[in-house]
Amino acid sequence: MAADRPGKPDPGTSKTTTTDEPERIQKLLARAGVGSRREVESWIEAGRLQINGRPAMPGQKATVSDRIELDGKRLDIKAGAEVLRRVLIYNKPEGEVTTRRDPEGRPTVFDRLPRLPDHRWIAIGRLDINTTGLVLFTTDGELANRLMHPSRQIDREYAVRVFGEVDEAMIRRLSEGVLLDDGTARFTDISEAGGKGINQWFHVTLMEGRNREVRRLWESQGVRVSRLKRVRYGPVFLPSRLSMGKWEELDQKAVDSLSRMVELPPVDIPAKTPSEKKIDDRKQRKHGGPARRKPGTPRWQVSGGQNMDDDRAVKRGRNKKHRG
C-alpha cells in the first residue's frame, strides 16, 4: 500500500518525486515533455541541441539547472525536476491523428485532454487516423518509453473486422510470420469474434507497434480491414463504459501496476484541486457525452457512441478469453 512506501512525503507536501542528479539528456527532456528520446537523439545528431552554449554530445548528462537550447531557443524544462506520473486512458474516435500538432489542421487526440500547468501528456504508442480505441497517455516520459520499447514485449490487442475469405491456412501463416516491407511480423494470438460470410470479426494480439502493422498483415493475405479498434494495451483494457472521445484517469493501484511491470518505483499521484476537478468534469461533458438515441432505437444499440457491431465483437472476444 502507498502508506508503506519508503520516502512517502508528509501530508500537505508535494506527492511527486524530485531529482537533481545529472542524467542523460534524452531522459531528462523526455520527462520534461519536450520530446521523445528518439526526437532528442535526432536533434543531437543534427547539431540542433546545445547545453550551456556547447553542442550536446550523444550520452551527455545534464540537470534542470543547465541552459539547454534547441535551434538557439532556450527550452523550458522545469517539469524535468520532478517525476509526475499520471496516466489517462482515452477512447479515440475515427478521424483524429495521434500527434500534438497536425500541419493539415486535422483534430488530434490531444485536443480533448485536460490541460496541465507545468507538464505535458505523452502518447504511449500511436493509432492511425482510421483506427479507433484505446490510447494511453502519461506525464512521465520514462514510463512512456519503457511501455513502448520492443524489449519489454508488451502486447497490444485489437478487435478487427476483415472483408474477404479467411481460412485455417491463412490464420496459420499470420501466426507463424509474414514478411512485410520492414521485416517479418506476426500475430501472437488470433481468435474468432463473430460475423457472417466474408465480413468476420477477429481479436488479434501483437507484441510491437509498427506503423499500420495489423492492417498490413491482413492485406498481405489478400483481405481488407474494414474496422480496427484497439481494446487492450498490456494489462489495461478499454472499459465499455468509456464512450468515444472520452478519457478517464487511472487510479493509484493501476498506475503502480504499470510501473512495476516496467521496473519503475511507484510514485504517488497528486490529488486534484477542486478547481481542477470542475474543469475536468466540464470538459468531459463538452467533448464526450453519451451518444444520443434516435427515436425508436433500442437502448442496447447505443453503446457509448460506438458502432453496435464493434461493441458486440469486443464483448465476444473478451468473453471468449475469460471462458478460456
Grid cell listed for 27? 531522459
Whole-number Å distance between alpha carbons of 112 and 107: 9
Those residues whose C-beta lies under 8 Å from the C-beta of residue 200, and which sit 6 or more positions away, are 161, 162, 166, 192, 194
Grid cell listed for 155? 502486447
Per-residue model confidence as pLDDT tens for the chain (324 residues): 333 333 333 323 334 455 567 888 988 887 777 777 888 999 999 999 999 999 999 889 988 889 999 999 998 887 666 678 999 999 999 999 998 888 898 999 999 999 887 778 999 988 999 999 999 999 988 899 899 988 888 999 999 999 988 999 999 999 999 999 888 999 999 999 887 777 889 999 998 878 899 999 999 999 999 999 999 999 999 999 999 999 999 999 999 999 999 999 888 887 766 666 666 666 566 555 433 333 443 322 223 334 445 555 555 555 555 444
Grid cell listed for 5? 512506501
CA distance to 72, 184, 191, per residue, from 173 (Å): 52, 11, 14
For residue 54, the model assigns a pLDDT of 93
Relative orientation angle of helices 141-148 and 252-261, to the nearest 10 degrees: 60
Please report, in angstroms and rounded to a whole number, the separation of the first and last CA atoms in the chain: 31
Whole-number Å distance between alpha carbons of 287 and 90: 12
For residue 284, the model assigns a pLDDT of 61
The residues annotated with a catalytic role in the active site are: 128
- Percentage helix, strand, coil, to 5, in the chain? 30, 25, 45
